[in-house]
Structure 1
Amino acid sequence: MASPDFESRRFLQSHVADILDFYDRHALDPRGGFFHYLKDDGSVYERAHRHLVSATRLVFTQAMAYTHSCEERYLEQARHALSHLERFRHARGPLAGLYAWTVRNGRIEDGTVMAYGQAFVLLAYAHAHRIGLSQAQEVAQAFERMEAAFFEADQRAYADEITPSGELLAYRGQNANMHMCEACLAAYSATGQVRYLERARLLIERFVFDLARQTQGLVWEHYHQDWLPDHDYNRGNRDNIFKPWGFQTGHQTEWAKLLLIAHAIDARPDYVMRAAELQRAAWAHGWDGEHGGLIYGFDPARQPYDSDKYFWVQAESLASAWRLWRVTGEPEFRRQYQAIWAWSWEHMVDHQYGAWFRILGADGRKLEDTKSPAGKVDYHTMGACWDVLEAGGLRP
């Protein structure tokens, strides 16, 4: 299969349009919100269930689609998605104002409050504000709810999970904090309020510089309540997609991307240096020299732990590679960008039905037929394309 010009603005715009078309055709639920569970061919395999991560990310994808295309249908679909998001909000009790994890038939099913999910609520409202669908005060309220429920000032980090009965659990993790950093950068971009940028920088300093010193200079996933690394949490459990064990290849590069976004706002050479270190480590230990593509994760000895190929790992890593190429001019990062795209174009992109496959085996074989289960919605793939477009330096 002939490859397109991956460094072409026209290619990236066309590819995003193709992905959006898949969701336009299959995901919109006229009764409210979007369907969150689609097979490879777009057929809906679960109609009544909704997941907070999908619901928030759909606000992002529709808002960004409108931002880049100016097509009114995406403004309306972003409004549609934002309105449906409110079905997740706890109306009363100790969790009032916070957002539940899942909804079934319009009613809260799993009332757990996850910091990961609340971070995406902030991201959703930030992007809704950019296109005029929410007020700056609503962005502030999302930030302040997260602050009150999860932020531990003495630890310079957010806790992770509150049970439906209101108990804050002892588990601590980096993933929610990483996405809160992302959301704060988006909130700063949308509102210009410096407190969001300051919080993003605090999280960068805490996770990419401070805590990473405990774990070989890389970002570890799981921690005890005192923020000492928990090396056993979910060891051997490969089913928890939000809390996987090991060093996650894609989280090293996702932090690299966030470092570079923050650097673009206010130049910090140490951010660029750390971004390059994380990217190089992800490539050294995550690139599959036999089959191509980046593996899911590697262990503390930096040996492959989970060699499957996930869509989001490729997407985040090509975005960070392109930003590093633009900032440093180092050819290795441009080569990485090209290599990830070439492998993904051949294996990960579904050229028959559209969008990207979620997961493939190490050798590129299909493992399942669910195109978009809970949380996917191709937020990472379209987001990576939009990020490369924002970084610039592309051919027409």
Structure 2
Amino acid sequence: MLSLAQFKEEVTKELYSILDYWMLHVVDHQQGGFYGKIDHDDTVFPEALKGSVLNSRICWSFAAAYNQTQKTQYLRIAERAYEYIVEHFIDPDYGGVYWTVTASGQPADTKKQTYAIAFAVYGLSEYYRASGDEAAKQHAIDLYRTIIQHAAEPVHGGYLEAFARDWSDLPDMRLSAKDANERKTMNTHLHVLEAFANLYRIWPEPALKKQIIQLIDIFSHHIIHPYTQHLQLFFSDDWEPRSTLISYGHDIEAAWLIQEAAEVIREDILLKEISTRSVQIAIAAAEALDADGGLWYEFDPATNHWAREKHWWPQAEAMVGFFNAWQITHDENFLKNAIGSWKFIQEFLIDSHKGEWIWGVYENYHIIAQEDKAGLWKCPYHNGRACLEIMRRIQ
């Protein structure tokens, strides 16, 4: 099995490769910010819409990389992302962030997706940690308060999915075309928790801590299935599950992100409870591991249907989630799973010729070539963060 020292060396090299790709290919020198789309063949679409989630994830990725490596070129890219978010994505009239802007930076889709606002909080908080820029910290706090003011559901707790620009109701609240049109989702709550935890690192307000504790409680009592330990994905306002679908990538991502939130707020009793739950979730996610080390995408027990694809981001999260479970339990099988995920990534996902990772492969290992290298959903956040986490945890 790969030694920890070699594991760290290999993911460190890959982190630099990923970030080099984004610095070299994705910076939009003509219209500002970053290109909205680069396809599988590395063709740039200079007039593509630019997404707030992508820009926030770029901001976080390069700020986090600077915080860990102190390489100044990463701070410059983070600053570019930060300035673009402030100038073009934050709505000066109604608050929150637009979903997309045009290639030249004008508002395009102005809906307010709670998920997107959370990622802006996440990215801006990390940029403050890198730069010490008080304006960035204030923007992060303001966006947090916007979520609390407009998205919090007062009766049953948690946060509603989406709104029109002026915070009126939307008939279609879906984050993407593949999602169910429900008012509460696991995915948004996971990334609100992630964002609030990162904000707490720079702004340890008691009210924010209370929100984090409430979110962890929501995961423990509503989102994590009490018997299977898989995450349930879609809900009514009163937390009635609206789907049986299992997303293994989200399982293994939540297995370490929820624990991280408990660590950040320094609640020892809660952390002990969540660490036990994290291991249970990791065990549940491991049901989807293939013999090659890859993690299958989804399964619906109601129809017995598997989505037998291996996408880039669940493999990245599997590296961290299984490594985290090994750190808790010292069970070598979890470490083997983490390293197995990395070996799968090396063999099938890293584009050794052009850089970055491809979207994924089908069951027969044919490449999913219709998806992007960079786009509304394809970013340096999952894979870059996985490398950073493994580097930090081994160190």
SS for the counterpart of 1:108 is: coil
SS for the counterpart of 1:298 is: strand
Residues 2-27 of structure 1, C-alpha deviations (whole Å, 9 max, x = no match): 98978533222211001111111101
The CA RMSD measured in Å over matched residues stands at 2.3
Question: What residue in structure 2 maps to residue 130 of structure 1?
Answer: 129
- Gapped runs of 5+ residues in structure 1? 232-244
Question: What residue in structure 1 maps to residue 7 of structure 2?
Answer: 8
1:317: Cα distance to partner? 1.3
CA contact (8 A) 2:234 2:241 kept: yes
Matching of residues 58-207 of structure 1 within 5 Å: 58-86=58-86, 87-92=88-93, 96-104=94-102, 105-131=104-130, 132-135=132-135, 136-164=137-165, 166-169=167-170, 171-207=183-219
1:110: Cα distance to partner? 0.8
Residues 268-320 of structure 1, C-alpha deviations (whole Å, 9 max, x = no match): 22111111111111111x1134x541111111359453111111101111101
Question: What residue in structure 2 maps to residue 17 of structure 1?
Answer: 16
Rounded to whole Å, the distance in 1 between the matches of 2:284 and 2:344 is 19
- Gapped runs of 5+ residues in structure 2? 171-181
1:45: Cα distance to partner? 2.4
CA contact (8 A) 1:254 1:317 kept: yes
Code of the aligned partner of 1:83: E
Change (3 A) 1:220 1:213: closer
1:76: Cα distance to partner? 1.9
Rounded to whole Å, the distance in 2 between the matches of 1:134 and 1:248 is 38
Q: State which drifts further: 334-343 or 6-15.
A: 6-15
Change (3 A) 1:97 1:164: closer
1:327: Cα distance to partner? 2.0
* Identity between Structure 1 and Structure 2 (%): 22
Code of the aligned partner of 2:112: V
SS for the counterpart of 1:158 is: coil
1:194: Cα distance to partner? 4.3
Question: What residue in structure 1 maps to residue 339 of structure 2?
Answer: 338
1:391: Cα distance to partner? 2.3
CA contact (8 A) 2:230 2:285 kept: no
Question: What residue in structure 2 maps to residue 272 of structure 1?
Answer: 275
Code of the aligned partner of 1:383: R
May I ask how many residue pairs the two structures share in their alignment? 374
CA contact (8 A) 1:40 1:353 kept: no
Question: What residue in structure 1 maps to residue 385 of structure 2?
Answer: 383
Rounded to whole Å, the distance in 2 between the matches of 1:334 and 1:302 is 32
Query: 194, 208, 211: which is aligned to 2:220?
Result: 208
Does residue 368 of structure 1 match 2:366?
A: no
Rounded to whole Å, the distance in 1 between the matches of 2:303 and 2:257 is 23
TM-score normalized with structure 1 length: 0.87
TM-score normalized with structure 2 length: 0.88
